[in-house]
């Protein structure tokens, strides 16, 4: 399951599903807004259900829109009820460093049997604690890690080692992908999954030398008909 598509755009999801090269979709409020979703929670539900049905049995991650503990818990249960393949995204902590979030993650996974994707993490240590809390997925923002001057591949290797050493079942998702190169290097470093925006996925497929070679084949095929 190496690639999740990071989008809320239905046509992009349909396009790459037909190719058979994605194994899930991830969203967040920013992505849904960019995809034209409006109407508050009603709009989020409608688009999420549409995507979940489209990608089934692959997973869809939908992020809560609040950092209030009670409301996070309520939203998570509501979102998970929209479709059987919806996972709920919870950030590692609040905008001011509030520490309630991992308690919510632990309760959702262990009491309510809801799969959680803990997101917005910038270090292996954050991801380790999220995995210990019971998260099914731990999302490290590799592009932002690199922007801070650290090597995201090293964080991935450290994280994969400790998860394996302590038999923690969380899958490592690397997001905030900025370059086509990131996708292969992060998977090679030990990530289970990389989230990829449609433009980068196209960049993985199309290579200028491949275009040149295909054109040569077509030109030479045409010459054989005239020979």
CATH topology of domain 3-226: TIM Barrel (3.20.20)
What confidence tens digit (pLDDT) does each residue in 178-224 have?
999 999 999 999 999 999 999 999 999 999 999 999 999 999 999 99
What confidence tens digit (pLDDT) does each residue in 152-169 have?
999 999 999 999 999 999
Omega cis (within 30) before 57: yes
CA distance 192 to 95: 27
CA angle 197, 93, 32 (to 5 degrees): 30
Contact present, 60 and 49 (Cβ < 8 Å): no
CA distance 68 to 141: 23
Q: How many H helices and E strands in the chain?
A: 11, 8
pLDDT tens digits in sequence order for the chain, 227 residues long:
699 999 999 999 999 999 999 999 999 999 999 999 999 999 999 999 999 999 999 999 999 999 999 999 999 999 999 999 999 999 999 999 999 999 999 999 999 999 999 999 999 999 999 999 999 999 999 999 999 999 999 999 999 999 999 999 999 999 999 999 999 999 999 999 999 999 999 999 999 999 999 999 999 999 998 87
Q: Which residues are catalytic?
A: 89
Contact present, 83 and 60 (Cβ < 8 Å): yes
CA distance 61 to 55: 11
pTM: 0.94
Tokens of 10: 């239905």
Helix (H) or strand (E) holding 119: strand 116-121
């Amino acid at each position: 399951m190496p690639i999740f598509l990071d989008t809320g755009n239905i046509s992009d999801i349909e396009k790459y599903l037909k190719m058979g090269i994605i194994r899930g979709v991830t969203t967040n409020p920013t992505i849904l807004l960019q995809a034209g979703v409006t109407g508050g929670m009603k709009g989020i539900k409608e688009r999420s259900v549409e995507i979940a049905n489209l990608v089934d049995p692959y997973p869809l991650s939908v992020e809560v829109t609040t950092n209030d503990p009670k409301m996070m818990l309520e939203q998570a249960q509501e979102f998970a009820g929209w479709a059987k393949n919806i996972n709920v995204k919870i950030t590692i902590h609040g905008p001011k460093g509030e520490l309630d979030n991992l308690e919510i993650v632990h309760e959702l996974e262990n009491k309510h049997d809801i799969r959680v994707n803990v997101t917005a993490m910038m270090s292996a240590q954050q991801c380790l604690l999220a995995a210990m809390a019971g998260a099914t997925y731990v999302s490290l923002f590799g592009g932002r890690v690199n922007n801070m001057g650290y090597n995201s591949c090293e964080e991935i290797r450290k994280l994969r080692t400790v998860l394996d050493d302590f038999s923690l079942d969380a899958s490592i998702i690397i997001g905030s992908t900025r370059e086509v190169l990131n996708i292969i290097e992060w998977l090679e470093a030990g990530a289970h999954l990389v989230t990829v925006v449609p433009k980068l996925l196209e960049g993985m497929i199309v290579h200028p030398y491949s275009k040149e070679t295909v054109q040569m084949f077509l030109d030479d095929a045409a010459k054989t008909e005239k020979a």
